[in-house]
C-alpha cells in the first residue's frame, strides 16, 4: 500500500532522525532536488532504494544558485504532487525547508566551487555553482547520508560535487545516475513544462543532434571542433539558440580537438525563453 512520505521542515529534526536510523544500522541515501518531480528524479530514488534502507529526498528551490533575472520566482513549486509521486517508494523522508532554515539570518559563509565550475555553465551562470556547492554541502550536513544520488543530466554539477567532496573530505559516496528521457528522446527536466507545444518540438532537435554526433563518433569521426560546429549550425537552423556545444574530456571538462578516448558532448541552449541542458557520453571505435 502506498503511503505519503514523512515530511520534515526542520533540518535539525531530520538530522537527528537520520542519525538515529544509522545508529540502528540502516544505510541512508540522499536525493537532492528542487522539486517539480518527474521520472528522472524518481529514478534517483529507485537507485537509492537498491542499497539504502532509507532515502531522504530534499525539495528546496535554492535561491543562491539563481542569478538575478533567472527563473527563481517562477520555478515550479508542486509539493503536494511531489509527495504523491514519492508515495510509490518506501521508506522515503522528505525535507522541504523554508529558505530561512537553510540560510539562517546573517549567514554570509559560502563554498567557493572548484575550478571545474568556471567553464561551460560557469561562463553563462558565473555564480551558479558556488550556490549549488553551498547548498549541497548544507544538505550533506542536515541529511548526513551514506550516499547521495545525482543525475548525469547535470553532468558538470556532478563533477563539481565529486571534486568538492574530495577537496573538503566530506564522508559521503557520490553516485551518478543515467539520464532519463521522454520516449522521443528529450531529456526530462522540470523546466520542460515552460515549453509551448511548438517549442517542445523544436527542443527535440537537441537530443537528435546529440544522437547524430554519437553515431558519427562511433563511425570514426575524430574532429571535435568540426562536430561541435556542425551541431551548433543544426540547432540554429531549427530555431534554437545554443549557448555552448562542447566535446570535452569527461573528467576535466576541457574541450577535445581530436577524439581518441571517451568524451562527453555537452549542450546548453535556449528554446524561446527556456534554457535547457543535455549531454551524452561516447567512446570512439579506436578506444574500444
Ligand atoms: N532526466 C533526468 N534524468 C536523471 N536525473 C535527472 C534528470 N533530470 C534531473 N535529474 C537529476 O535530478 C536532480 C535534481 O535536479 P533538478 O531538481 O534540478 O531537476 P531538473 O529537472 O534538472 O530541473 P531543471 O529543469 O531545473 O534543470 C539532479 O541530480 C539532476 O541531475
Ligand atoms: C543539486 C540541487 C538540488 C541543489 O540545489 C540542484 O542544483 C538540482 O536540482 O540539480
Ligand atoms: N538542475 C540544475 C538546477 C538549476 O538549473 O539551477
Q: Which of 151, 177, 203 is the last residue of a domain?
A: 177
Examine the domain organization and report whether 71 and 109 are in the same domain: yes
| Residue 41 within any structural domain of the chain | yes
Give the residue from 233, 249, 61 showing the smallest Cα distance to 155: 249
Question: What is the rounded average pLDDT of the residues 19-39?
Answer: 98
| Residue 29 within any structural domain of the chain | yes
Q: What's the confidence (pLDDT) of residue 284?
A: 97
- Give residue 179's Cα distance to chain centre: 9
Question: What is the rounded average pLDDT of the residues 22-46?
Answer: 98
Q: 229: domain CATH number?
A: 3.30.1300.10
How far, in Å, is the centroid of ligand 3 from the Cα of 195?
A: 16
Angle among Cα 262, 263, 264 to the nearest 5 degrees reads 135
Q: 164: domain CATH number?
A: 3.40.50.620
Examine the domain organization and report whether 147 and 220 are in the same domain: no
Three-state SS at 186: coil
| Residue 1 within any structural domain of the chain | no
| Residue 182 within any structural domain of the chain | no
- Of the CA atoms within 13 Å of residue 35, those in its CB half-sphere come to 20
Examine the domain organization and report whether 42 and 154 are in the same domain: yes
pLDDT at 3 over 90: no
Question: What is the rounded average pLDDT of the residues 121-130?
Answer: 98
Number of folded domains that form the chain: 2
ipTM: 0.98
Examine the domain organization and report whether 136 and 243 are in the same domain: no
Examine the domain organization and report whether 148 and 240 are in the same domain: no
Examine the domain organization and report whether 135 and 234 are in the same domain: no
Antiparallel, parallel or unpaired: β 28-33 and 147-151: parallel
Is-catalytic flag, 41?
A: yes
pLDDT at 36 over 60: yes
Task: State the average pLDDT for the chain.
Answer: 97
Q: Domain range holding 218?
A: 192-280
Ligand 3 atom with the shortest distance to the CA of 65:
6
Examine the domain organization and report whether 224 and 263 are in the same domain: yes
- Ligand 1 contacts CB of residue 41 (under 6 A): yes
Q: Is 16 annotated as a binding residue?
A: no
**H helix and E strand count, the chain:** 9, 9
Q: What's the confidence (pLDDT) of residue 133?
A: 99
Q: Do residues 155 and 279 make contact, with C-beta atoms less than 8 angstroms apart?
A: yes
pLDDT single digits (tens) 250-259: 999 999 999 9
Q: Is 180 annotated as a binding residue?
A: yes
- Ligand 1 contacts CB of residue 187 (under 6 A): yes
Q: Which of 112, 145, 177 is the last residue of a domain?
A: 177
How far, in Å, is the centroid of ligand 3 from the Cα of 273?
A: 15
How far, in Å, is the centroid of ligand 1 from the Cα of 287?
A: 30
Split at pLDDT 50, 70, 90, the class of 24 is very high
| Residue appearing with cell numbers 523546466 | 191
Instruction: Please pick, among 5, 33, 41, 227, the residue that the annotation labels catalytic.
Output: 41
All three cell numbers of 156, joined, read 558538470
Examine the domain organization and report whether 153 and 21 are in the same domain: yes
Question: What is the rounded average pLDDT of the residues 213-225?
Answer: 98
pLDDT at 1 over 60: no
User: Which DSSP string corresponds to 227-281?
Assistant: HHHHHHHHHHHTT-EEEEEEEE-TTT--B-SB--S-EEEEEEEEETTEEEEEEEE
Three-state SS at 32: strand
Q: Do residues 28 and 18 make contact, with C-beta atoms less than 8 angstroms apart?
A: yes
User: Which DSSP string corresponds to 40-88?
Assistant: HHHHHHHHHHHH-SEEEEEE---GGGSPTTSSTTTS---HHHHHHHHTT
Q: Is 40 annotated as a binding residue?
A: yes
| Residue 212 within any structural domain of the chain | yes
- Ligand 1 contacts CB of residue 182 (under 6 A): no
Contacts of residue 169, defined as CB under 8 A and 6 or more positions apart, other chains included, come to: none
Q: Is 41 annotated as a binding residue?
A: yes
Split at pLDDT 50, 70, 90, the class of 207 is very high
Examine the domain organization and report whether 245 and 270 are in the same domain: yes
Examine the domain organization and report whether 39 and 169 are in the same domain: yes
pLDDT single digits (tens) 140-186: 999 999 999 999 999 999 999 999 999 999 999 999 999 999 999 99
Ligand 2 atom with the shortest distance to the CA of 154:
10
User: Who lines ligand 2 at CB under 6 A?
Assistant: 32-34, 62, 65, 132, 135-136, 154, 157
Q: How many CB atoms lie within 10 A of CB 102?
A: 20
| Residue 185 within any structural domain of the chain | no
Q: Do residues 114 and 164 make contact, with C-beta atoms less than 8 angstroms apart?
A: yes
Give the residue from 161, 179, 178 showing the smallest Cα distance to 170: 161
Amino acid at each position: 500500500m502506498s503511503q505519503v512520505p514523512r515530511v520534515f521542515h526542520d533540518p535539525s529534526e531530520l538530522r537527528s532522525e537520520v542519525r538515529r536510523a544509522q545508529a540502528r544500522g540502516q544505510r541512508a541515501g540522499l536525493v537532492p532536488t528542487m522539486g517539480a518531480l518527474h521520472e528522472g528524479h524518481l529514478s534517483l530514488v529507485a537507485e537509492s532504494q537498491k542499497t539504502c534502507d532509507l532515502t531522504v529526498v530534499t525539495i528546496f528551490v535554492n535561491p543562491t544558485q539563481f542569478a538575478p533575472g533567472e527563473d527563481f520566482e517562477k520555478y515550479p513549486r508542486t509539493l503536494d504532487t511531489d509527495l504523491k509521486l514519492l508515495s510509490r517508494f518506501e521508506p522515503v523522508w522528505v525535507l522541504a525547508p523554508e529558505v530561512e532554515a537553510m540560510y539562517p539570518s546573517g549567514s554570509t559563509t559560502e563554498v567557493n566551487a572548484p575550478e571545474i565550475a568556471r567553464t561551460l555553465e560557469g561562463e553563462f551562470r558565473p555564480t551558479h555553482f558556488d550556490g549549488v556547492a553551498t547548498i549541497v554541502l548544507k544538505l550533506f550536513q542536515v541529511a548526513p547520508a551514506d550516499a547521495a544520488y545525482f543525475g548525469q543530466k547535470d553532468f558538470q554539477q556532478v563533477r563539481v560535487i565529486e571534486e568538492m567532496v574530495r577537496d573538503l573530505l566530506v564522508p559521503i559516496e557520490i553516485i551518478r545516475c543515467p539520464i532519463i528521457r521522454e520516449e522521443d528522446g528529450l531529456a526530462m527536466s522540470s523546466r520542460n513544462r515552460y515549453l509551448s507545444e511548438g517549442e517542445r518540438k523544436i527542443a527535440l532537435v537537441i537530443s537528435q543532434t546529440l544522437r547524430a554526433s554519437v553515431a558519427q563518433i562511433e563511425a570514426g569521426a575524430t574532429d571535435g571542433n568540426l562536430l561541435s560546429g556542425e551541431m551548433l549550425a543544426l540547432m540554429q537552423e531549427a530555431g534554437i539558440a545554443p549557448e555552448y556545444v562542447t566535446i570535452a574530456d569527461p573528467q576535466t571538462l576541457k574541450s577535445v580537438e581530436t577524439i581518441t578516448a571517451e568524451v562527453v558532448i555537452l549542450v546548453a541552449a535556449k528554446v524561446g525563453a527556456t534554457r535547457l541542458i543535455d549531454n551524452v557520453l561516447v567512446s570512439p571505435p579506436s578506444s574500444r
